Amino acid sequence: MTKNMWYAVEFSSAIVTTAKYLKILGTELVLYRTSDSQIHAMNNACIHRGAALAQGKIAQDCIVCPYHGWHYQTDGTCVKIPSQSATIAIPKAARMTTYPVQDKYGWVWLYLGAGEPGALPDIPNFPPAAGNLRAIQGEFNWNANYERVLENGLDFAHAPFVHAGAFGNPDLPEIPDLTIETYPGGASATVDLAATPPKGLWKFLVKGERAPIKTRTGFFLPNLTFLEVYLPFGQLTIWTAHVPIDLHHTVSKWINFRNFFIGKWADGDTYKRTIKIFEQDKPIVESQRPQLIPTDPSAEPSVAADTLQIQYRKLSQ
């Protein structure tokens, strides 16, 4: 769990001009937007007496501690202490730790590591969704380490067992040879998965026997996965940021794009289908032991269907 990378940690739309609490990698933070629409992040515990800044307010682009009213500007410097005269110098130690933030691809990206902003690693570049698409978003909580959650999203072989009836076919569990693609900061795999008859709204779009479904999944370090499903009637793409709250808790913040049933009336069905997949995965992922991925490659035997997970483990070391 390295801090020296950019993590996608929240939806951009979730950060407004009020204080927002966030915990990542065990660090408690407060995020907010200033009047110029820029997002800022700093430690949540006030340097004075440790009160939660996320319970405070934003005034003239400063975050104000709810306990004693200390004002901190965006670089973390305290510029006002109400309990003392304005003529008295503010202690140099009255300064909050701040963190680099970027707003890109619909997520807020946060860097908790060391180094000057100009020397920081780049945010991963990935192709934006294009075309006439409908997008919805949501989140899902896990009592599991984010790497176990992330690897679950790269695993083709569990579909016939965990997702039987949704998109896995228990009668045809064999996984064909994977087509692996590598790129800076990540990798993906493409395979034709055996399908089962569609249910619900989707059954009206498919006639006759269902052919294997071309499916591509991949990752961008440190915490992004994507899933592309090429259905007979359109394409479904899900991007997910697996946010590591701490070693044993993760929240997956997902954006689902579809180019079929693009009216708002189908959003409820799309949301239910997405959450159903997470709910099917949840008890399995939370039961995995050890809870953290072993550092010894030989600790967990692997087969050909695990190739993409092995690629992730190599790159994330």
Could you tell me the CATH number of the domain that includes residue 226?
3.90.380.10
The pLDDT assigned to 205 comes to 59
Residues 6+ apart with CB under 8 A from 66: 51, 52, 53, 55, 56, 57
Same domain, 299 and 225: yes
* Residues 132-177: tens digit of each pLDDT: 899 999 999 999 999 999 999 999 999 999 998 777 788 889 998 8
- 112 domain residue, yes or no: yes
Q: Which strands make up the sheet holding 62-64, listed edge to edge?
A: 57-59, 62-64, 71-72, 78-80
DSSP 117: G
Its pTM stands at 0.92
Contacts with 84 (C-beta within 8 Å, 6 or more apart), sequence order: none
What region does 300 belong to: left with phi over 0, alpha with psi -120 to 50, or beta? beta
Residues 181 and 311 in one domain: yes
**Per-residue DSSP letter, 45:** B
Domain boundary among 119, 144, 173: 119
Taking only Cα atoms into account, the Rg of the chain, rounded to an integer number of angstroms, comes to: 22
| Cα(274)–Cα(269) distance, integer angstroms | 9
d(CA 183, CA 188): 9
Please indicate, yes or no, if residue 63 is contained in any of the structural domains.
yes
- CATH of residue 22's domain is 2.102.10.10
Instruction: Of 183, 176, 193, 184, give the one whose Cα is nearest residue 307.
Output: 176
**DSSP output for 141-190:** EESS-HHHHHHHTT-STTHHHHSBTTTB-TT--PPPPPEEEEETTEEEEE
Residue 87's Cβ-count burial label (10 Å; 0-12, 13-18, 19+) is exposed
Residue 282 lies in a domain: yes
What is the per-residue pLDDT for 233?
A: 83
Q: Does residue 142 share a domain with residue 23? A: no
Residues 150 and 103 in one domain: no
Q: Does residue 125 sit within a domain?
A: no
Residue numbers of the domain that contains 64: 6-119
Averaged over successive runs of 10 residues, the pLDDT of the chain (317 residues) comes to: 86 97 95 97 98 98 98 98 96 96 94 77 73 92 98 95 82 89 93 75 59 90 94 90 97 94 92 95 98 93 96 91
- In contact, 258 and 131? CB cutoff 8 Å: no
How is residue 264 written in tokens?
């708002």
Q: Is 281 helix (H, G, I), strand (E, B) or coil?
A: helix
> In this structure, are strands 107-111 and 134-142 parallel, antiparallel, or unpaired?
unpaired
Q: Is residue 1 part of a domain?
A: no
Q: Does 166 lie in the same domain as 111? A: no
Report the amino acid identity of residue 45: A
Residue 207 pLDDT: 60
Same domain, 224 and 77: no
Residue 47 lies in a domain: yes
Q: Which of 82, 37, 36, 38 has the alpha carbon at shortest distance from 56? A: 82
**Residues 94, 48: Cα–Cα separation, whole Å:** 7
Query: Do the domain assignments include residue 14?
Result: yes
Give the C-alpha separation, 32 to 183, whole Å.
33
In 10 A of CB 206, how many CB atoms?
Answer: 15
Whether 279 and 150 share a structural domain: yes
Same domain (yes/no): 110, 140: no
Is the same domain home to 107 and 163?
no
**215 occurs within a structural domain:** yes
Same domain, 159 and 301: yes
Query: Do 93 and 58 share a domain, yes or no?
Result: yes
Distance CA 88, CA 67 (A): 20
Task: Give the total number of structural domains in the chain.
Answer: 2
State the number of CA atoms in the 13 A half-sphere of 26 facing the CB.
7
